[in-house]
């Protein structure tokens, strides 16, 4: 990153934004990172540097911040996730598509670099289930997946037509202890830790054998930073890169938690999110990300579980 770069984060209070903001401030200095979200800054993490309220639907407001602070890079993280999107499809379409279009338009006008997260939700029931490749059938069946698929094409279009340096990753389910996700199908893999420590049991909304690709947030943040640091000519994929770290089912996760908390009990009560989970691949192949910019995950299931339990217990004790 050049010396005078200034980063704008949109959606800084979300699951990815909370940790990415801290990581970017640690790396580039707190004054070089402007955190924004729709919400008030009630978290101490976000008070440690410039923070302002911003709605991604207001293009002029984005332009104003970009001009005023001489922003050079945008991390656009605001999105409606899969389960919430099924409840309000037109809202999900507006936020996910028009928000991205606003960011890409501003990037085009001001010559900015952009990071935008895509998702394994671009895949659907007709995609390969095991080691789903980078280039394959993408026929998503959720509105969230449709917006991520269309968003990837839009990113590629802005790169090809206008030279926008936009980079993206197809994130699997993300697991973190700082901020909880909201409205996703993989959220069980975060909630389970809080309930296991608070109550000793958890009722999972997916069936016990439902295997999905997952990643610990430390790896997810590092992936974004690494992709954004790579010279532009090494970024061959301008839709979004497949990445992953591990795959597990609720049953596998409960067994890994039981190694630390032997009395923990898991119950199962599948709901409408089961159908979404069943439409996604069970595992993801990420060889293109590895060969283009060196992606390698660090956390497996057992390392992730140990770290999650350590941090959530510590936070609860504070």
For 59, the token pair is 């293009």
Residue (144 or 295) nearer to ligand AKB, CB: 144
Asked about 144 being catalytic, the answer comes back as yes
For 153, the token pair is 């094409």
Closest distance of CB 279 from ligand AKB, Å = 11
Does the footprint of ligand AKB cover residue 281 (CB under 6 A)?
no
Backbone angles phi, psi at 216, to 5 degrees: -75, 145
> Which residue is at the shortest CB distance from ligand AKB?
184
Residue (45 or 217) nearer to ligand AKB, CB: 217
Closest distance of CB 275 from ligand AKB, Å = 13
Residue (17 or 173) nearer to ligand AKB, CB: 173
Spatial contact of 297 and 245, defined as CB atoms under 8 Å apart: yes
Does the footprint of ligand AKB cover residue 186 (CB under 6 A)?
yes
For 187, the token pair is 């959220």
Could you say which residues in the range 98-137 bind ligand AKB, by CB under 6 A? 119-121
Which of 144, 188, 202, 241 is catalytic? The answer is 144
Closest distance of CB 141 from ligand AKB, Å = 13
Location of structure tokens 């640690």: 26
Chosen residue from 72, 73, 127, 185 binding ligand AKB by CB under 6 A: 185
Chosen residue from 6, 66, 81, 100 binding ligand AKB by CB under 6 A: 81
Taking phi first (over 0 means left), then psi (-120 to 50 degrees means alpha), and beta for anything else, what does residue 70 get? left
Does the footprint of ligand AKB cover residue 242 (CB under 6 A)?
no
DSSP 50-75: -EEE--TT-HHHHHHHHHHHT--EEE
Closest distance of CB 31 from ligand AKB, Å = 31
The C-alpha torsion from 252 through 254 and 249 to 186, rounded to 10°, is -150
The C-alpha torsion from 291 through 170 and 270 to 203, rounded to 10°, is 80
Exposed e or buried b per residue across 89-118, where buried means at least 16 C-beta atoms within 10 angstroms of its C-beta = eeebbebbbebbebbbbbbbeeebbbbbbb
Residue (49 or 183) nearer to ligand AKB, CB: 183
Q: Cα–Cα distance between 32 and 288 in angstroms, integer?
A: 31
Closest distance of CB 269 from ligand AKB, Å = 18
Closest distance of CB 127 from ligand AKB, Å = 14
Residue (185 or 279) nearer to ligand AKB, CB: 185
Query: Would you tell me which residues interact with ligand AKB (CB under 6 A)?
Result: 81-82, 119-121, 144, 171, 173-174, 181, 184-186
Residues labelled as active-site residues: 144
């Amino acid at each position: 990153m050049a010396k005078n770069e200034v980063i704008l984060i949109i959606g800084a209070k979300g699951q990815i934004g909370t940790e990415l903001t801290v990581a970017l401030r640690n790396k580039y200095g707190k004054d070089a990172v402007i955190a924004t979200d729709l919400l008030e800054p009630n978290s101490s993490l976000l008070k440690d540097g410039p923070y302002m309220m911003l709605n991604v639907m207001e293009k002029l407001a984005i332009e104003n911040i970009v001009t005023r602070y001489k922003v050079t890079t945008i991390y656009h993280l605001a999105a409606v996730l899969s389960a919430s999107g099924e409840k309000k499809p037109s809202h999900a379409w507006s936020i996910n598509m028009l928000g991205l279009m606003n960011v890409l338009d501003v990037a085009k006008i001001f010559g900015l670099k952009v990071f935008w997260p895509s998702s394994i939700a671009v895949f659907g029931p007709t995609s390969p289930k095991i080691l789903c490749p980078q280039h394959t059938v993408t026929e998503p069946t959720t509105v969230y997946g449709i917006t991520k698929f269309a968003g990837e094409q839009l990113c590629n279009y802005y790169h090809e037509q206008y030279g926008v340096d936009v980079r993206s990753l197809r994130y699997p389910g993300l697991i973190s202890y700082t901020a909880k996700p909201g409205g996703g199908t993989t959220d069980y893999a975060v909630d389970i830790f809080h309930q296991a420590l608070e109550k000793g049991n958890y009722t999972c909304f997916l069936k016990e054998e439902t295997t999905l690709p997952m990643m610990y947030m430390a790896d997810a943040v590092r992936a974004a930073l690494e992709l954004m640091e790579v010279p532009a000519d090494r970024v061959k994929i301008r839709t979004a890169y497949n990445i992953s770290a591990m795959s597990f089912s609720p049953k596998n996760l409960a067994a890994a938690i039981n190694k630390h908390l032997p009395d923990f009990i898991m119950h199962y009560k599948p709901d409408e999110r089961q159908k979404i989970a069943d439409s996604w691949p069970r595992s993801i192949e990420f060889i293109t990300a590895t060969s283009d910019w060196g992606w390698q995950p660090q956390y497996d299931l057992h390392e992730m579980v140990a770290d999650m339990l350590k941090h959530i217990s510590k936070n609860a004790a504070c």
